[in-house]
Amino acid sequence: MALHAGLEIVSLGIDYGQRHRIELEYAVAQCHKYNVKRHVIRIEWDKPVRNIPTGRSLETIRSGVSPAFLPGRNAVFLVLACAEAVGIGADQVWIGVNAIDFSGYPDCRPEFVAKFQLMIDMAIPSGIKVMTPLLQMSKPQITVKAHQFGLQPGDTWSCYQPRFVMEGIRPCGVCDACILHKHAWKEALHKSGNG
């Protein structure tokens, strides 16, 4: 979306020892595809272990905060992103959080973003604006937009517990992220007449 808005962008990844670090490789592939610079911040984090729920229905996923929620993660990521932005002379940080449809993550809600912006205005007086273009979009709406920009279901990574098989790395297909990914793409392709 930032590219289509005509902005000069730098993609930022955060390598914090996540088990699903394959998402970093998928992001690199998209950066190559769209000719976008890529920076990665590496941090050591003995984060709490989270049980990844599997096989849950869309209704259950929608009903509350996921057991996989890692408190403070988006706050940490945003602080690092804002500091990086200052370092490279940028004045905006875009993050793809959304709070419609499946908003079980408290740090993806408008209230969090608004309060974070107040805090970062104090921490970085020169000004960094946190941009959340997906905040009020549902998962299928986001996927429709991604499809309009040329992305396909296999172009991004969502799975929280990848399977390592002889053929390579595959999504598990049963974690909440996989279920939401499948739901969003099914809806998006149906709406575009391709499903």
d(CA 5, CA 94): 12
Give one DSSP letter per residue of 54-107, joined into a string: BS--HHHHHTS--TT--TTHHHHHHHHHHHHHHHHT--EEE-----SS----GG
Query: Domains in the chain and their CATH numbers?
Result: 10-191 (3.40.50.620)
User: Mean pLDDT of residues grouped by 10 in the chain (195 residues)?
Assistant: 94 89 91 95 86 89 84 93 96 92 80 96 94 93 91 88 85 92 88 65
Predicted TM-score (pTM) of this structure:
0.89
